[in-house]
């Protein structure tokens, strides 16, 4: 990690640049081709892509069968099963507190308005497989989807080379009560979810992370009338550390994000040069011990350690950067946290590593990246709900609000709007209801 000492604000924008991603034009073109292929050939295209990208010959079909699903638990160590169940309980507890209450409001005598939360009817959950199958993400998406009451939940995840699905993902799906599981990954899975095939039901909203092809596919899906959870990109963390922080802790937090992928980004801010130098040394030492050291090392080439003067200046930099994860490794984290305006999820104090949010504290780890924390929230129960408003007027209500509407509609030149009220008022005056 390069150390930058007291950069002037004019230099901050360059320091806040995310790692350069593979340029989107050729990615988007390839994704468009995949979409068209899946829409034309359906399951046949998905089977071809499974052979091409996953090395899997899905002779038994694209769906996970009941026998494969039932056999999964026996392949998952009991210690891991216990950990997953505890994480599930914590995530459920946190998201259950988000259930909205329906309240009826009388805005004028006789005019009652209310809002009802209704689940998205058909949702697709995309869970990456490969070298790091993200069963934790299935918890983060499946818990609120079930809690919201979504009637149809479709899980897509890439097959392993033998045509099976990672048993930990299947165990987690079983725990959640998700049984529609499709062996499809990449942009082709998103294409199938957005248009439907014989084996893959079309959905109304798609959730889940993925590589640049999956990200481009989700954005393309919106052109077909399918919603997505949020724009997503490589994982990132920004750590604000003062002299009270422990360099080994900070280094571990930085590396926990760097090991996600070569295009992940980590940024360290401190008002102590000694802290930056010690942490840099710790990063180099701990890196050698990681199984994914090569991946993390690539990510560190686009990462930065920056010396600033005060906690307030560090917070100002962070709010401009709008990190996916923000760690406040400082003496008074609660006080500094009051000033956070742009971040996906915040971790306070020296004993709160970002990893707990990734797995089991209860908060959701599906968060906005690439600066989208300026205008997007992370996934929550709300992500799986639609809010529909209702209103009802009594005769008294129409008499009260009707003239207001007539006056406003006439002022905008919308005579039919005014007439819709006037006719009813005249009927009331004539004794009709």
> 335: number of CA atoms within 13 Å, CB side?
5
Tell me the two tokens of residue 294: 């090569």
Question: Is 324 a residue of the active site?
Answer: yes
Q: Is 342 annotated as a binding residue?
A: no
Q: Are 168 and 113 in contact (CB under 8 A)?
A: no
Does 417 appear as a known binding residue? yes
Answer yes or no: is 302 a known binding residue: no
Which of 259, 302, 324, 354 is an active site residue? 324
CB-based burial of residue 71 (10 Å sphere; 0-12 exposed, 13-18 middle, 19+ buried)? middle
Q: Is 8 left (phi over 0), alpha (psi -120 to 50) or beta?
A: beta
CA 248, CA 254: separation in Å to the nearest integer?
10
Cβ-count burial 302-334 (b if 16+ within 10 Å, e if not): bbbbbbbeebeebbbbbbbbbbbbbbbbbeebe
Q: Which residue in the list 259, 282, 325, 365 is annotated as catalytic?
A: 325
For 354, the token pair is 């970002």
Bridge partners of residue 354, in order along the sequence: none
Q: Establish whether 350 is an annotated binding residue.
A: no
Sign of the alpha-carbon torsion through 410, 416, 417, 423: positive
Q: Is 253 annotated as a binding residue?
A: no
Whether 25 has a binding-site annotation, put simply, is: no
In angstroms, rounded to a whole number, what is the distance separating the alpha carbons of residues 125 and 379?
12
Q: Check whether 188 is labelled as a binding-site residue.
A: yes
**Cβ pair 21, 212 in contact under 8 A:** yes
Q: Is 131 annotated as a binding residue?
A: no
What number of other Cβ atoms are within 10 A of residue 279's Cβ?
A: 29
Known binding residues for substrate are 235, 257, 260, 325, 358, 412, 417
Known binding residues are 126, 188, 211, 235, 257, 260, 325, 358, 412, 417
Residues with catalytic roles: 324-325
Known binding residues for Zn(2+) are 257, 260, 358, 417
Known binding residues for NAD(+) are 126, 188, 211
């Amino acid at each position: 990690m390069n150390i930058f000492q007291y950069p002037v604000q004019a230099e901050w924008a360059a320091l806040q640049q995310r790692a350069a991603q593979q340029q989107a034009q050729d990615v988007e073109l390839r994704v468009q081709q995949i979409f068209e292929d899946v829409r034309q050939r359906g399951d046949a295209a998905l089977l071809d892509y499974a052979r091409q990208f996953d090395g899997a010959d899905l002779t038994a079909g694209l769906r996970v069968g009941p026998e494969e699903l039932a056999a999964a638990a026996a392949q998952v160590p009991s210690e891991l099963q216990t950990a997953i169940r505890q994480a599930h309980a914590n995530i459920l507890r946190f998201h259950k507190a988000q259930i909205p209450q329906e309240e009826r409001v009388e805005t004028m005598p006789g005019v009652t308005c209310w809002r009802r939360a209704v689940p998205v009817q058909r949702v697709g959950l995309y869970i990456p497989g490969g070298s790091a199958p993200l069963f934790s993400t299935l918890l983060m998406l499946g818990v609120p989807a079930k809690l919201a009451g979504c009637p149809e939940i479709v899980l897509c995840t890439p097959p392993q080379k033998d045509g099976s699905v990672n048993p930990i993902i299947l165990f987690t799906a079983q725990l959640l009560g998700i049984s529609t599981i499709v062996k499809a990954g990449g942009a082709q899975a998103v294409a199938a979810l957005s248009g439907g095939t014989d084996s893959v039901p079309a959905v109304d909203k798609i959730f889940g992370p993925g590589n640049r092809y999956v990200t481009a596919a989700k954005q393309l899906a919106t052109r077909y009338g399918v919603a997505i959870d949020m724009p997503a990109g490589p994982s990132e963390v920004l750590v604000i550390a003062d002299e009270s922080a422990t360099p080994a802790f900070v280094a571990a937090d930085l590396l926990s994000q760097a090991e996600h992928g070569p295009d992940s980004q980590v940024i360290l801010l401190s008002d102590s040069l000694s802290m930056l130098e010690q942490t840099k040394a710790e990063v180099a030492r701990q890196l050698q011990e990681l199984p994914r050291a090569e991946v993390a090392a690539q990510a560190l080439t686009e990462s930065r350690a920056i010396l600033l003067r005060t906690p307030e200046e560090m917070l100002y930099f962070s709010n401009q950067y709008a990190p996916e994860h923000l760690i406040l490794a400082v003496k008074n984290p609660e006080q500094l946290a009051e000033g956070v305006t742009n971040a996906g999820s915040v971790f306070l104090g020296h004993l709160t590593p970002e990893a707990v949010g990734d797995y089991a504290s209860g908060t959701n780890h599906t968060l906005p990246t690439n600066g989208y924390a300026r205008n997007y929230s992370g996934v929550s129960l709300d992500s799986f709900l639609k809010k529909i408003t209702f209103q009802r007027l009594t005769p008294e209500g129409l008499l009260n609000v009707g003239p207001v509407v007539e006056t406003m509609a006439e002022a905008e030149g919308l005579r039919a709007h005014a007439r819709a009220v006037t006719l009813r008022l005249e009927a009331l005056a004539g004794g009709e209801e």
